[in-house]
Structure 1
């Protein structure tokens, strides 16, 4: 029978960060004589040494742990590491680009590196990040997580650490895994099947492995959870949503400046907006996902000096994101007064807003012609209306993006012995990925323009084939004919992203045959060449600002590449052994010289050591000077306008700004425009759905980041307490010259904390408003919003303490107990975009500036009991400390409300204008999650696992829908950090032969 021993077998290397020995994995028992010699694989060092104790701590997640959790993708367990915060994953819907990533230490997913067996893997996009959905978990023996600088060992991108997936070696037999999971609500079904086949041959000199997997995951809609069913404003606490609504909201030219169409559809209720569109039910808490993957590896020992090996991975996966139906949104359109879809009452209000006489209004309304008469002359009665009609197109269905990703990654190499104590390893890697994004359900701007310019007889003035009148003034169900809906929304958009990676790596490792102590000095030297290419190619509509309505910004083409030559070296010097003051003392040194085709040369180095004072008590420390070169997206992405979040615009009503504030607001919009008039009149609406435009892009002049990282800690494994081990490590990371752009809060504060016409931060170079409405939202072709240029002016700093404990013991001959604890206390995580910007600390806070929330203290604790070696009951406890709304933002909102009591009479946030976040949403209490697992070794060949995740069915804390960034604050909660699916059940069975 298989004994539950994942914690027992790996306790020392797991917590001590020792060289990790990847023992052979078998699907059936074999004689010891048939087993191949174990291979030493060290994460964080190129030195292969069974006695090496790393000066940097390495955490390990074993395949047995993933089995207990029934984890289906790597992102699922990595986002729950205490040392990480959630990045893009299955809970991100609006903002998910079809891939999943890891964010170690919360300083950006582009600052950590993902490896497969210590080698780089093909990236998913122009940022160079690896898509975790493509990692084949069925063949992963363990995952090593080094949370500290590792650029000296692995090159750029490893400032915050490395995630190294180690595959099973010398697998022999057949292993079949089948699993099914479903929520208590009966949705979110996940089915997964994997089959792995391996064999040794030629008396163990060779081994081949083939693994095939399939996974299918269903959507979970926000409308199917009580807390996500209705959109809630984070400011008022009332029903929230979008002013792109139904019935439509009209913004100018009508008396009062704006208003919502009355329930009878005949007039506009001037100055009234009280029925926002509830987009929540259409959005999702779990993205649909389908994956097919193949993994193979082979090795053959030609002779005692040469072993050739290869590895290949293939993955094809589809991620679907579903967002609420689109519509006309916040663009200005030209509509003719004699358009038959405009009700008479609304037509009269347009006439009044335009200042037309009754006769002019009647003539314009009754003319049967467009801008020109039948004889080609100008029509004197024709009236053009430039206006916003914000109408939701629920009749056209949801806006869907389907991301189909296909990739392969191949490795070939040879390794062997040069002498008895020196070996070599030469390998090459090549991989390509392609991600095709297909969008449906979006309006095309040019066709919508056509369908809004319609003669009284129902024909389009443009005369374009297929054009039919669209009715933005209609009530629900009255958008127009199916032909009209198909004309404006029937086209699809496509964006294709391609990447490639090519590497050649050669290293020589071993010992010098001599040393200061009895153990010789260990070394590793080598060179590496890496080449990256990435491109994004869009269709004409996708790359044109404003051409696709409601798409969140254009996707201009990107083409970029770079290569880098590296030379590296490491030494491990045992200084003392067996002395009264030192059981062992080892010094580690390393350096890497890199020559980037884009960023020039860089030199990185590290120095560290470990001191085992007495057996079982080790002190360790490591200092590294690391660097990261900017990636292709950061260098070559064209400047374009997209979306970000802002709940409260300082220039918005309900009262008009005055004095210096008014001067600053007017500086950001063309003089004499209707937008300037709206600001002066106090009729400017708050950002629609809490979203604004931002303009950003790459910067080819960017240089490398520089990071100084250090760790110091202790490992304690006393002989007096068998089975017990403890480690405590302090980490400190500081990044200067960080590639970054100001946050939304930085850009707003730079102007509005000292608003005036002479403040450069208030000028159109930094803030550019909608010329038609005065807002920060609208058509990206005319409204750049906040301009957030990338630079090397950023500074990042984070520090804290990692604590890990293990205890394993036999309670009796029949019962064994395993306890584990992994926790991280983060003291701070600060980001300063510029020298004059706010040094913002986001640990324990959430807001539009902080992205994915990071708790000050997080831990994971597991208690497992194994009975009679056949039954295991295991409880996992995960804890996240409390969070609060970012004080810098909250205090600024309160101060602004108190300074303008007419504009925001209730400083506690009850005012419908939404000046201050509702106090009910300013805290998220500490959260405790419990997962229960049961495993049964039915026989030698069958292992059965049952799980109940989120055992207590905890619901996430409501904070409203516009308190944070759209990617992470969704459905009134933070679903990537706090479980929105509820209690889930899973069952799996593993057959081994």
Structure 2
């Protein structure tokens, strides 16, 4: 009775929406070496197994073996279990091909998502599939959040290097990562896991449940699954390396800078400078090198930064590094998380050759962020007679009152500790439905068609922001008729303005704090519609002893839409604390046809194997500047003898611009910049060549290198997306060998060289306005160069100034197809398993499994402006952004005996150096930086060891326990090139020794 009830329950729950849900391409489990966790691809020819026909990730053609022309790494479900992973990122980020994107340690920057960055070419260039199909994305950049993938349902993950747009369409430039979920579940799986650090914090636990059943005499199967995950926070002050915020040196008394009269920045000469405390802070604009101080400040007439005494009234010059503000304690090191995930799938053979199938998924994921209280610094109007000042302060400020009206305008900074930390409640709700039909048309001919719809809604509620306009109103005071202090602006008074005393610690009235403190909201909504139909099978045989020619032919339709909806505070820019943002909304679609051929020519002949394959796709985008695009691929497998197979592959791939690239909210801004044609730039750039270029670009000769060209420190310009973008293109070459020596049974070795070059990379034009001006006038020095086109014809003919506020035109600093990326290297995989011929437990025989996966990074080059190729950034072996060691590996050794196994994993992350050592320029000359001038120029290699024990307590119950980072390796403290928490938390272990225990019951 219970069995029948379970079948009816599952059937009803899943097949309610079967006619509108959709299919996956036939994707069978890719077998891995038992106990290896991760494996190289294995050709089962000659092995004692019958795999039938399968579909290998990177192709839609069913085939009898696993050998692919593209490098393929297979991560098995056992690896997630042995690693103690609660989310898929914890395993994938250990693979040498993967560099961390946004992770569970990404607080600032961060957005609550987890992203995948293959080959460090960016999450937008890594295509993520689930069961061979596109998954839901979460934002205007059309990126997949890995938090939406049920880790406990993963049967395996296939990582394919290099472009695959001919097979899967746009975005597969760096490669494809395909998560294969369990299929045809027949029974119940229950499990859970608990993780906690040696220090007793950062607890993580998850509860998993799945049940499935066959029905209708095996003609159908339905399954339901659910997961609950919770992750507790760790703050940065809970670890020694991140307890104090670090910088690149201190301002020290007694080392007077003759230009400023205050202690000079000693850079790395005294090592990394850390913030020791303080309650308030700001960045005095009169001294650019002065670190954030713990007390409020003003800028004096001489341009020096002064801080107020804690009790208020008086000021002193900023000198003491002990005044540095320590913002670390208020920042998360590990972000909290709470996730609910449910899903279902089902299939039913209606009649012979017609099978319906469906997939449903729903996720609610909440990942808060927390930052230190809001710092603010801006120019404001101050009343000299304010009771908040003493005579010393009034005397200091009085020379700024040039019109003798009793008011001065100066830069004032403050950190709003009284408002409390900044918080973001990032809540993401996503669902996906998929349904379709598949079957056999003939014995060697199959079809499949499906439609999927996915929608994600992100809601971010921000607390602790400060309204810039209200800050200005609350500082601009006057006296009413009764002599009481009030806000000078009548409109602000009517809106509740209260005078704000920030000139000391804790002196502001709560009403004033409440007036300037605001909450803000933003929402993102993303949708993906995807319809695919494909026919595949065998055509004919060439008659040379090999298998049949295989093919796949199909069509695809995709529609992507996304919008970002900020509230008024964020959209207007009247916000300090979190980044402002402009509304973004857009959509586009693409219609595609594609085909593949696999041509076996020789098998077991005078050579063991010769096989050719090719693929092509034509994509017609609704975007005018993209339009029709061809992508294509071709490869060859050749095995002179059964022991070794050589392979090579070429792929032309594309990435169409996403919604953010195209429609990112356009706005006019006023960034600080230095026009090289004015007197604001460095004196050493005022050369005859620059003068001639300025005159040629429209600056009157008499005005060159004068203030008339740039009367203000800011230049008005236009920013945002660009609907005229075209696609990115990439060329990928891979050459390698698969070695399976017959004289060493069960040994598999693959060696593959990869070379990926991406052209017309979409990024902000030249990296921003100031960078564009510098590159045009001091580096390219050619008005025909694309980098100079942004300023052509825009200068005021009378003064030579740029920007509408100065009578010229606004430069367009929009998204542009302007950059290049290139990477190359070698991947090596080895897996081997050996029976030992004995058993300690007297139950079968014991076995040792060994796996190694390593990557040597030969080159990583990024050129911000392709038209200036000499200014290429060399990144391999350096850190700025993600650390890119030239060598890294992960390896696992497992001993298994009967019901028990013991496994040791070794993760090696190679040494790196400060990227400025190689990438400091003078014009086009690469001059480098002396390492002695840098705080932490070199970061040593690091070794992490993880130990796991696994026991099958019974046929139905498995217990797993282990410890990651066995020897408690800690990250080095870095200076200004850190990502956050004084290090790179995605690359280096920040938890320390970490224990886990998990259990799984299956029946």
Same fold per TM (> 0.5)? yes
Corresponding position of 1:579: 605
Residues 1:325 and 2:373 aligned together: yes
Equivalent runs, 1:790-801 vs 2, <5 Å: 790-801=815-826
What is the alpha-carbon distance in structure 1 between the residues aligned to residue 220 and residue 229 of structure 2? 31
Tell me: CA distance 1:892–1:865, structure 2 relative to 1, closer, same or farther (3 Å).
same
More displaced, 441-450 or 785-794? 785-794
Corresponding position of 1:831: 862
Contact 2:434–2:451 (CA under 8 A) maintained in structure 1: yes
Q: CA deviation at 1:131?
A: 0.7
What is the alpha-carbon distance in structure 2 between the residues aligned to residue 13 and residue 394 of structure 1? 49
More displaced, 719-728 or 784-793? 784-793
What is the alpha-carbon distance in structure 2 between the residues aligned to residue 696 and residue 214 of structure 1? 42
What is the alpha-carbon distance in structure 1 between the residues aligned to residue 919 and residue 638 of structure 2? 48
Equivalent runs, 1:473-484 vs 2, <5 Å: 473-475=503-505, 477-478=506-507, 480-484=508-512
Instruction: Pick from 881, 886, 897 the counterpart of residue 910 of structure 2.
Output: 881
Tell me: CA distance 1:263–1:397, structure 2 relative to 1, closer, same or farther (3 Å).
closer
What is the alpha-carbon distance in structure 1 between the residues aligned to residue 767 and residue 932 of structure 2? 17
Corresponding position of 2:577: 550
Tell me: CA distance 1:513–1:224, structure 2 relative to 1, closer, same or farther (3 Å).
same
Alignment: residue pair count:
888
Tell me: CA distance 1:231–1:514, structure 2 relative to 1, closer, same or farther (3 Å).
same
Q: CA deviation at 1:487?
A: 1.7
Corresponding position of 1:373: none
- SS of the aligned residue for 1:407 comes to strand
Corresponding position of 2:254: none
Residues 1:589 and 2:614 aligned together: yes
Instruction: Pick from 630, 652, 665 the counterpart of residue 657 of structure 2.
Output: 630
Contact 1:196–1:212 (CA under 8 A) maintained in structure 2: yes
Contact 2:34–2:849 (CA under 8 A) maintained in structure 1: no
Deviation readout 1:651-674 (Å, 9 max, x if unpaired)? 9xxx99646469999999975999
Equivalent runs, 1:598-677 vs 2, <5 Å: 598=623, 599-639=626-666, 658=683, 660=685
What is the alpha-carbon distance in structure 2 between the residues aligned to residue 990 and residue 339 of structure 1? 69
Instruction: Pick from 974, 985, 988 the counterpart of residue 975 of structure 1.
Output: 985
Deviation readout 1:412-453 (Å, 9 max, x if unpaired)? 011000001101001111111100111101101222223222
- SS of the aligned residue for 2:442 comes to coil
What is the alpha-carbon distance in structure 1 between the residues aligned to residue 79 and residue 440 of structure 2? 35
What is the alpha-carbon distance in structure 2 between the residues aligned to residue 319 and residue 788 of structure 1? 33
Deviation readout 1:86-134 (Å, 9 max, x if unpaired)? 1111121112122111111111111110011111112111111111111
Residues 1:493 and 2:540 aligned together: no
Tell me: CA distance 1:10–1:958, structure 2 relative to 1, closer, same or farther (3 Å).
closer
Corresponding position of 2:590: 564
Corresponding position of 1:504: 531
Instruction: Pick from 512, 521, 542 the counterpart of residue 515 of structure 1.
Output: 542
Contact 1:188–1:217 (CA under 8 A) maintained in structure 2: yes
Corresponding position of 1:239: 273
Q: CA deviation at 1:392?
A: 0.9
Tell me: CA distance 1:498–1:18, structure 2 relative to 1, closer, same or farther (3 Å).
farther
Corresponding position of 1:163: 177
What is the alpha-carbon distance in structure 2 between the residues aligned to residue 189 and residue 407 of structure 1? 25
What is the alpha-carbon distance in structure 2 between the residues aligned to residue 650 and residue 890 of structure 1? 23
- SS of the aligned residue for 1:277 comes to coil
Q: CA deviation at 1:612?
A: 2.3
Instruction: Pick from 462, 472, 475 the counterpart of residue 449 of structure 1.
Output: 472
Corresponding position of 1:276: 324
Q: CA deviation at 1:50?
A: 2.3
Corresponding position of 1:865: 895
Corresponding position of 1:958: 973
Q: CA deviation at 1:990?
A: 1.0
More displaced, 306-315 or 237-246? 237-246
Q: TM-score, normalised by structure 2?
A: 0.82
More displaced, 339-348 or 601-610? 339-348
Equivalent runs, 1:244-259 vs 2, <5 Å: 244=283, 247-259=294-306
Q: TM-score, normalised by structure 1?
A: 0.83
Contact 2:79–2:91 (CA under 8 A) maintained in structure 1: no
Residues 1:706 and 2:729 aligned together: yes
Instruction: Pick from 536, 542, 546 the counterpart of residue 564 of structure 2.
Output: 536
What is the alpha-carbon distance in structure 1 between the residues aligned to residue 173 and residue 934 of structure 2? 38
* RMSD value, Cα: 3.8
Instruction: Pick from 445, 468, 481 the counterpart of residue 498 of structure 2.
Output: 468
What is the alpha-carbon distance in structure 2 between the residues aligned to residue 739 and residue 56 of structure 1? 26
- SS of the aligned residue for 2:486 comes to coil
Equivalent runs, 1:361-380 vs 2, <5 Å: none
Contact 2:765–2:772 (CA under 8 A) maintained in structure 1: no
Q: CA deviation at 1:295?
A: 1.4
Contact 2:373–2:420 (CA under 8 A) maintained in structure 1: yes
Q: Which runs of 5+ in 1 are unaligned?
A: 25-31, 361-381, 680-691, 769-779, 900-906, 909-915
Q: CA deviation at 1:354?
A: 3.3
Q: CA deviation at 1:948?
A: 0.8
Residues 1:347 and 2:394 aligned together: yes
Instruction: Pick from 929, 936, 943 the counterpart of residue 958 of structure 2.
Output: 943
Equivalent runs, 1:140-179 vs 2, <5 Å: 140-179=154-193
Residues 1:427 and 2:462 aligned together: no
What is the alpha-carbon distance in structure 2 between the residues aligned to residue 656 and residue 343 of structure 1? 38
What is the alpha-carbon distance in structure 2 between the residues aligned to residue 53 and residue 895 of structure 1? 46
Instruction: Pick from 261, 264, 276 the counterpart of residue 308 of structure 2.
Output: 261
Deviation readout 1:328-387 (Å, 9 max, x if unpaired)? 23x21223333333344322211134358xxx5xxxxxxxxxxxxxxxxxxxxx533222
Contact 1:255–1:349 (CA under 8 A) maintained in structure 2: no
Q: CA deviation at 1:250?
A: 3.3
Contact 2:36–2:849 (CA under 8 A) maintained in structure 1: no
Contact 2:464–2:577 (CA under 8 A) maintained in structure 1: no
Tell me: CA distance 1:939–1:893, structure 2 relative to 1, closer, same or farther (3 Å).
farther
What is the alpha-carbon distance in structure 1 between the residues aligned to residue 740 and residue 811 of structure 2? 54
Corresponding position of 2:462: 439
More displaced, 566-575 or 341-350? 341-350
Tell me: CA distance 1:405–1:141, structure 2 relative to 1, closer, same or farther (3 Å).
same
Equivalent runs, 1:11-26 vs 2, <5 Å: 14-16=39-41
Contact 1:112–1:158 (CA under 8 A) maintained in structure 2: yes
Instruction: Pick from 283, 300, 303 the counterpart of residue 351 of structure 2.
Output: 303
Instruction: Pick from 821, 834, 852 the counterpart of residue 821 of structure 1.
Output: 852
Residues 1:989 and 2:989 aligned together: no
Deviation readout 1:884-913 (Å, 9 max, x if unpaired)? 1114566559999999xxxxxxx97xxxxx
Residues 1:42 and 2:56 aligned together: yes
Q: CA deviation at 1:238?
A: 4.8
Contact 1:660–1:756 (CA under 8 A) maintained in structure 2: no
Tell me: CA distance 1:440–1:642, structure 2 relative to 1, closer, same or farther (3 Å).
farther
